[in-house]
């Protein structure tokens, strides 16, 4: 390297890394002004070579996806890897899918998972993690529901922010897919029609939460919103994201078909086209030269890119990112903890669970999925861990002296005969990556589910085995809600185990045998029938997204679900008492503290997930019956009482006033509930408070 080259790097990229605040911004501006148009445009697109991209059609994430970089100026490229089950590169730790982690309602656990993912990404040469998927599943049959944390904007935002916090101790994180992306099979062309209030209150708050947490990047969605593809949607990207929210990071496109234009995308606020330069290469240069895209727009994009790279250039401790950290003992233990906490006990008739090792001689495990490595879909979120513990393996390892027999269930009559000889039956059924997940063009796997029912063969098997067994436990695997009507009353216990990651079998077994008290709660409503859900057309060219979905829709229409949002049973009983409010009145800019006592009345230690819901006063605008506004996990020993506390701010109860183009806090009488789920019977404590002017 000659002296001039060293000087450029020291005074340019390396120089600005040493600066902070306004000085860093000044140096970034100087660096951008010193770059040629070609150099600037190079920063605005993926740069992975075409041969590697072609190879990744058969093994996605075999290589890092690169973007930008400049050898002359010493600017490094972005090194992107996908998620969110873990690092999609190499043989990394595979955690339960995000929906399962949403069922833990555990912010701190999700932050720790983010930290571990960040370490493994850096250990494998990546510095950009694209796994903060926070799309809201308007219909639980959306194929990629498993990649997100649940149906509620508040829960989504809190869990997404926790993942951002953890990952960004080591790498840049990207929140995706902005916005209104919740149909998989028509994602490349569907036009989502949504009114401004619904957009603001339902489909954007979780993105705002991650922006406030400092997320480095936002990925635009494939679909259109109100007639404009998201990557060129000025209202979403310039007016709201970069304008109102003050987001100073970068906006990147989803891959290949995520960018559909040059001029509209550049003017609309897109900063990086991924994974290659189609529109943000020669076409962008011509558009600038012809005056169709002001060079100032390019400068703004490059400034955002360099600012983001610089912000994370010195993240973490480089010496800590050794390859032995990938799927290390600590991270595998974290995967097991997450698998245990994510399991949701939906039914437990006559307390047949947990299974007592000293009371059983023989257990039958039935179902093809019991002996299959079933960890989620095969799309961009796929992680290839060094091993996977199946339910059958986990049960055998935890059964002690109990004899464990296995049958695939292909012949229901034979399975029933085996069940008849056993003291208890564990029947594992559900979904795989062929049934739901990212829809991969020209490959028949993944996609959406318009019908949430199990396969007919699974239902026949359940009926046969349940008729033959006096202790039949159904374990469901999948990434979202499943219909249970028709067979639910035939069985004695039901567990939702999701796609539990590499330690999923051990996590499930810990719950079955009572080594762990189940604490998971549903992050998505399980309906009684398909008819209770919003209209869903997986091939729709245009669709309207209404204001109501999930538990809010069930409340609005007075419908009873099979299992409500926030629901989950335990091996102990919790008692709620002594509701306390720090004040019964607050101004529109004020806050109150809500406290309550939770008592463990059973004989086993465990964690309860306490939820805070708020109902608004009668209003001139349509408002939900109640909305989630807080949650916390509380661990108690048998007989122990602990206090829980929530801060409730008036501003968090605002609605979006379309006429004023502003958020408005209504004055009036509000009702709050401290609850164990969203259903009426579980709204244990109720209190009222008033919001007044001022």
Residue 670's beta-bridge partner residues?
Answer: 689
C-beta separation of 216 from 308 below 8 A = yes
SS (H, E, C) 350-396: HHCCCCCCCCCCEEEEECHHHHCCCCCCCCCCCCCCCCCCCHHHHHH
Percent of the chain with pLDDT over 70: 98
Cut 0.85: pTM above it: yes
Taking only the tens place, the pLDDT of each residue in 168-202 is 999 999 999 999 999 999 999 999 999 999 999 99
Q: Which pLDDT value is given to residue 144?
A: 97
SS (H, E, C) 213-250: CCCCEEEECCCEECCEEHHHCHHHHHHHHHHHCCCCCE
Give, to the nearest 10 degrees, the angle between helix 282-289 and helix 295-312: 130
Taking only the tens place, the pLDDT of each residue in 472-495 is 999 999 999 999 999 999 999 999
Q: Would you say residue 540 has pLDDT above 70?
A: yes
Lowest mean pLDDT among 304-313, 581-590, 615-624, 636-645: 615-624
C-beta separation of 395 from 444 below 8 A = no
Q: Shortest CA distance to 170 belongs to which of 376, 348, 325?
A: 325
Q: Which pLDDT value is given to residue 524?
A: 98
Q: Would you say residue 49 has pLDDT above 70?
A: yes
| DSSP letters spanning 615-654 | EPPS-SS---S-EEEEEEEEEE-TT-EEEEEEEEEGGGG-
Q: Give the H/E segment covering residue 550.
A: helix 550-557
What is the arithmetic mean of pLDDT over 27-45?
Answer: 96
Can you list the positions of beta strands (E) in 375-480? 403-407, 424-430, 472-477
Q: Please, is 476 exposed, middle or buried when counting C-beta atoms within 10 Å of its C-beta (0-12, 13-18, 19+)?
A: buried
Whose structure tokens read 């209003």?
619
C-beta separation of 621 from 654 below 8 A = no
Instruction: Give the count of beta carbons closer than 10 Å to the beta carbon of residue 637.
Output: 10
CATH number for region 36-323: 3.20.20.300
Q: Which pLDDT value is given to residue 150?
A: 98
Taking only the tens place, the pLDDT of each residue in 285-336 is 999 999 999 999 999 999 999 999 999 999 988 888 999 999 999 999 999 9
Taking only the tens place, the pLDDT of each residue in 410-462 is 999 999 999 999 999 999 999 999 999 998 777 778 999 999 999 999 999 99
Could you give the count of Cα atoms lying within 13 Å of 60 in the half-sphere of its Cβ?
Answer: 16
Instruction: Give the count of beta carbons closer than 10 Å to the beta carbon of residue 20.
Output: 10
Q: How far apart are CA 463 and CA 412, in angstroms?
A: 9
339-557 falls under which CATH superfamily?
Glycoside hydrolase family 3 C-terminal domain (3.40.50.1700)
Tell whether domain 574-692 is in CATH 3.30.2130.10: no
Instruction: Give the count of beta carbons closer than 10 Å to the beta carbon of residue 500.
Output: 32
- 556 Cβ contact list (under 8 Å, min separation 6): 548, 624, 625
Beta strands 228-229; 224-225: pairing state? antiparallel
For the chain, domain boundaries: 36-323, 339-557, 574-692
Going 41 to 47 to 49 to 53, the CA torsion angle's sign is negative
State the average pLDDT for the chain. 95
C-beta separation of 12 from 34 below 8 A = yes
Q: How far apart are CA 130 and CA 316, in angstroms?
A: 18
Q: Would you say residue 3 has pLDDT above 80?
A: no
C-beta separation of 48 from 63 below 8 A = yes
What is the arithmetic mean of pLDDT over 341-367?
Answer: 97
What is the arithmetic mean of pLDDT over 586-593?
Answer: 97
Buried-state track 43-71, b at ≥16 Cβ within 10 A, e below 16:
bbbbbbeeeebeeeeeebbebbbbbbbbe
Q: Which two tokens stand for residue 245?
A: 């929210």
Q: Would you say residue 7 has pLDDT above 80?
A: no
Q: Which pLDDT value is given to residue 258?
A: 96
What is the arithmetic mean of pLDDT over 623-632?
Answer: 98
Taking only the tens place, the pLDDT of each residue in 179-188 is 999 999 999 9
C-beta separation of 570 from 345 below 8 A = yes
Give Cα 539 distance to the centre of its chain.
24
Q: Which pLDDT value is given to residue 11?
A: 64
Q: Would you say residue 227 has pLDDT above 80?
A: yes
Q: Please, is 3 exposed, middle or buried when counting C-beta atoms within 10 Å of its C-beta (0-12, 13-18, 19+)?
A: exposed
What is the arithmetic mean of pLDDT over 358-371?
Answer: 97
Residue 595's beta-bridge partner residues?
Answer: 580, 645
Can you list the positions of beta strands (E) in 280-360? 344-348
Whose structure tokens read 């229901």?
412
Q: Which pLDDT value is given to residue 9?
A: 53
C-beta separation of 40 from 302 below 8 A = yes
Instruction: List active site positions.
Output: 254
Q: Give the H/E segment covering residue 655.
A: strand 655-657
Q: Which two tokens stand for residue 94?
A: 């595979």
Q: Shortest CA distance to 500 belongs to which of 424, 571, 430, 427?
A: 430
Residue 473's beta-bridge partner residues?
Answer: 426, 493
Beta strands 217-220; 627-636: pairing state? unpaired
Q: Which two tokens stand for residue 184?
A: 């998989």
């Amino acid at each position: 390297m000659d002296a001039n080259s060293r000087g450029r790097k020291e005074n340019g990229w390396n120089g600005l890394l040493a600066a902070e605040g306004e000085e860093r911004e000044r140096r970034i501006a100087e660096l951008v002004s010193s770059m040629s148009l070609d150099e600037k445009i190079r920063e605005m697109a993926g740069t992975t070579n075409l041969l590697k991209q072609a190879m990744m059609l058969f093994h996605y994430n075999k290589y890092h996806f690169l973007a930008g970089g400049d050898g002359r100026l010493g600017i490094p490229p972005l090194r992107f890897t996908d998620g969110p089950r873990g690092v999609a590169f190499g043989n990394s730790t595979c955690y339960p899918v995000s929906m399962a982690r949403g069922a833990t309602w555990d912010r701190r656990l999700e932050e720790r998972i983010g930290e571990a993912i960040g370490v493994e990404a850096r250990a494998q040469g990546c510095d950009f993690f694209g796994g903060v998927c926070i799309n809201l599943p308007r219909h639980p049959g959306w194929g990629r529901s498993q990649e997100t944390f649940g149906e509620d904007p508040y829960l989504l935002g809190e869990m997404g922010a926790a993942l951002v916090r953890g990952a960004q101790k080591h790498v840049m994180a990207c929140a995706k897919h902005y916005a209104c992306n919740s149909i998989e099979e028509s994602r490349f062309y569907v036009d989502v029609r949504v009114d401004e209030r619904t957009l603001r209150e339902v489909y954007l708050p979780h993105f705002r939460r991650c922006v406030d947490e400092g997320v480095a990047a936002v990925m635009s969605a494939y679909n259109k919103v109100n007639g404009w593809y998201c990557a060129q949607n000025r209202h979403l990207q310039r007016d709201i994201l970069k304008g109102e929210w003050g987001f100073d990071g970068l906006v990147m496109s989803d891959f290949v078909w995520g960018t559909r234009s040059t001029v509209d995308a550049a003017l609309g606020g897109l900063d990086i086209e991924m994974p290659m330069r189609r529109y943000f290469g020669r076409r962008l240069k011509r558009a600038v030269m012809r005056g169709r895209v002001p060079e100032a727009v390019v400068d703004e994009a490059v400034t955002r890119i360099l600012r983001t790279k610089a912000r994370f250039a010195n993240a973490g401790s480089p010496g800590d990112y050794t390859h032995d950290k990938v799927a290390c003992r600590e991270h595998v233990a974290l995967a097991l903890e997450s698998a245990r906490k994510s399991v949701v006990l939906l039914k437990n008739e006559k307390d047949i669970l947990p299974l007592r090792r000293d009371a059983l001689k023989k257990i039958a495990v039935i179902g093809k999925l019991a002996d299959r490595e079933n960890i989620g879909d095969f799309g961009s979120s796929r992680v290839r861990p060094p091993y996977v513990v199946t339910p059958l393996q986990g049960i055998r390892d935890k059964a002690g002296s109990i004899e464990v027999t296995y049958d695939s269930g292909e012949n229901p009559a034979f399975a029933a005969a085996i069940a008849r000889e056993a003291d208890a039956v564990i029947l594992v059924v559900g979904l795989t990556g062929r049934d739901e997940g990212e829809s991969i063009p020209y490959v028949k796997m993944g996609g959406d589910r318009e019908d949430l029912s199990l396969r007919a063969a699974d239902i026949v098997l359940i009926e046969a085995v349940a008729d033959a067994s006096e202790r039949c436990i159904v374990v469901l695997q999948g990434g979202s809600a499943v219909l249970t009507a028709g067979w639910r009353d035939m069985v004695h216990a039901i567990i939702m185990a999701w796609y539990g990651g590499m330690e999923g079998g051990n996590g499930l077994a810990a719950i079955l045998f009572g080594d762990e008290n189940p604490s998971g709660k549903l992050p998505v409503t399980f309906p009684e029938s398909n008819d209770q859900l919003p209209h869903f057309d997986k091939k729709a060219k245009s669709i309207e997204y209404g204001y109501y979905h999930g538990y809010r829709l069930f409340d609005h229409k007075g419908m009873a679900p099979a299992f409500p949002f926030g629901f989950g049973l335990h091996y102990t009983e919790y008692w709620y008492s002594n509701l306390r409010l720090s004040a019964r009145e607050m101004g529109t800019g004020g806050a109150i503290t809500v406290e309550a006592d939770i008592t463990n009345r059973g004989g086993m230690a465990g964690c309860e997930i306490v939820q805070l819901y708020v109902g608004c006063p009668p209003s001139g605008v349509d408002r939900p019956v109640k909305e989630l506004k807080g949650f916390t996990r509380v661990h108690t020993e048998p007989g122990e009482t602990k206090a829980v506390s929530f801060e409730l701010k008036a501003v968090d109860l605002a609605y979006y006033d379309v006429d004023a183009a502003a958020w408005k806090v209504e004055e009036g009488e509000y009702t709050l509930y401290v609850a164990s789920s969203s259903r009426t019977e579980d709204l244990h404590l109720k209190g009222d408070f008033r919001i007044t002017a001022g």
